[in-house]
Structure 1
Amino acid sequence: MLLSRSQTVEIGGHSIEFGPRGMRRCADGFESRPYTQFELRPVTPYIGVEIHGVDLRDPSAEVIDELRRALLEWKVVFFRDQQITGAQHRDFARHWGELEIHPLLPQGEVPEVVHFERGEDNPGTENIWHIDVTWQKRPPLGSVLRALEVPPAGGDTLWADMGNAYDCLPDAIKERIEGKVAVHDFVPSFGRAMSPEKLEQMQEMFPPVEHPIVRTHPETGRKTLFVNSLFTTHIPDIDPVEGAALLRQLVDQAKVPDFQCRFRWQPNSIAFWDNRATQHYAASDYFPHRRVMERVAILGDVPA
């Protein structure tokens, strides 16, 4: 049940909302049961939980079953002190399905592992709210990101709960976007650094795709807001000016701190997030220090 005591005031011609919002951790009907295989330490009441007492190098079937449930309930789960190899990283992610080999990002020693190395010569550029690879027909189910080297301070990653982001939209906006789709494209981001020849080749392979603005999570049944600043370009079949204003309002939902959790990285920390239910943002506040990460993504379904 959604309970809301938030208030709205008009300041300078703008509506400002404050106070408790109507939020929930799970979809109605989701059964939240005790966990017996590990300890949970919530980061916030709604999104994000640290899991302790698990070795990801060789998890049992019972541990994997409870991790599946924890991921659906908390949307992003965190682990500390996991000294795993690239192959073990890949093998852990495989418990959730077929893995992605990203066509536009550098690979690590294992083909399924994407290697991110940021520093003085290559500053971080992931500081924009986004959902991974929504420019493909089957965006990832989720991603498993591990820290190899972290700066002495900064470089945190934030996640936003897009179920609560949708729930807290005004009813008039929900009615306006019901059943509508938005267009997603890699060109405004990855395409900017490509030569014209390379761009043309990649556009033939990965043309723009349409996804529902509001998708239904295939496992929990919860409605989530499925547009993002990095890859969503426009809403078709609507006046371009009105559509641009509407899209700005929708993507700005991820920026509300009430919907977010924040993770401070340490070497050998791991974050595993549900890409169908969240957006994320990597703070680029550590220049010129180094930040080295590796990620494995799990293929998802066609958003519906």
Structure 2
Amino acid sequence: MTIHYAREAFARFEARPMSPAIGAELIGANLSQPDDQLIDDVRAALLKYRVVFFRDQHITREQHIAFARAFGELEIHPATPMEQPDREVLRIAHGPKSRGTENAWHSDVTWRDTPSLGSILRAIELPEVGGDTLFANMKLAYDKLDDETRERITGRVAVHDIARVFAGRLNTNATQLHEKFPPMEHPIVRTHPETGERILYVNTAFTSHIKDMDPEESSALLGRLYLTAWNPEIQCRFRWAPGSLAFWDNRACQHFAASDYFPEVRIMERVTIAGDRPYFDPAE
């Protein structure tokens, strides 16, 4: 396992690691005028550090969308209002009448048949203090499991269900949601399609149970696996500021939005890049 501590020079920026385990700030990047070299460099840095951060990027919503689109097709989230222009943007707003609810370790939209490649989050309005986002390296989470647990979960499948989170938020019921977004089965250990790494791929927000396992046994095992993201040794923490963006690889990490700022206002906008169906390659 290679861990990168030193700054690394790319053609369009310098990468400054946030922790030994995950994350880097990309110093000198300009997202208002991205060229092919910048996109290639950001893609390489994302694969290496799993989440990358940008400072002082005072870009428009249109520039945010254009930057994300350079990495692939964009998703439209079912929580985005139908009447909203630029429906590729998911606006996440909390304040005195809405306490933040993203404070659980998760990877975005794992309830999809083809969960996302990555998400790009832009700060719009921030509390004076608080509202940081934490990230966990789920390759290291897998690597730190004992041999018996790795053998027990490798090749097994878990079910991911949108209704666990969004039935309440969308004021609907599970049956209605499942008509459009039925529960999906994904490997507990997935193979990263670009790096070939083995990634632990269950999360407390959307994973409901392990297929073909006794419910009590499934619940106990998932509980242990969920806790792996809580290890500070595989994390980094990002303090937002005006003009900040974060771009994370949903295939390789989980994140946790600290909801410690209530009743202050925190408004973010997220654009999500479509991915492919998770798979497990036993040869890796």
CA distance in 2, matches of 1:240, 1:201: 24
1:158 corresponding residue in structure 2? 134
Contact (CA 8 Å) 2:16, 2:24: kept in 1 or not? yes
Give 1:97's aligned amino acid: G
2:25 corresponding residue in structure 1? 50
TM value normalised by structure 1: 0.87
- Find out whether 1:130 has 2:106 as its counterpart: yes
- Find out whether 1:147 has 2:119 as its counterpart: no
Contact (CA 8 Å) 2:74, 2:271: kept in 1 or not? yes
Give 1:139's aligned amino acid: P
Larger radius of gyration: 1
Contact (CA 8 Å) 1:148, 1:293: kept in 2 or not? yes
Residue of structure 2 aligned with 1:301, choices 276, 279, 283? 276
Residue of structure 2 aligned with 1:265, choices 233, 237, 240? 240
Contact (CA 8 Å) 1:86, 1:109: kept in 2 or not? no
Aligned-pair distance for 1:36? 2.7
2:207 corresponding residue in structure 1? 232
1:29 corresponding residue in structure 2? none
CA distance in 2, matches of 1:195, 1:45: 42
Aligned-pair distance for 1:50? 0.5
1:102 corresponding residue in structure 2? 77
Residue of structure 1 aligned with 2:53, choices 54, 78, 81? 78
- Find out whether 1:284 has 2:259 as its counterpart: yes
Unmatched 5+ residue regions in structure 1? 2-23, 27-32
2:68 corresponding residue in structure 1? 93
Unmatched 5+ residue regions in structure 2? 280-284
Could you say if the C-alpha distance between residues 195 and 59 of structure 1 is closer, same or farther in structure 2, counting changes exceeding 3 Å? closer
Aligned-pair distance for 1:105? 3.6
CA distance in 1, matches of 2:245, 2:79: 23
- Find out whether 1:182 has 2:162 as its counterpart: no
Aligned length: 276
Q: Deviations over 1:49-74 (max 9, x none)?
A: 01111110111211111111000000
2:38 corresponding residue in structure 1? 63
2:96 corresponding residue in structure 1? 120
TM value normalised by structure 2: 0.93
Aligned-pair distance for 1:199? 4.2
Bigger mean CA deviation after superposition, 39-48 or 252-261: 39-48
1:201 corresponding residue in structure 2? 176
CA distance in 2, matches of 1:281, 1:215: 21
1:247 corresponding residue in structure 2? 222
Aligned-pair distance for 1:236? 1.5
Q: Identity, % of aligned pairs?
A: 55
Residue of structure 2 aligned with 1:41, choices 5, 8, 16? 16
Aligned-pair distance for 1:194? 4.7
Aligned-pair distance for 1:201? 2.7
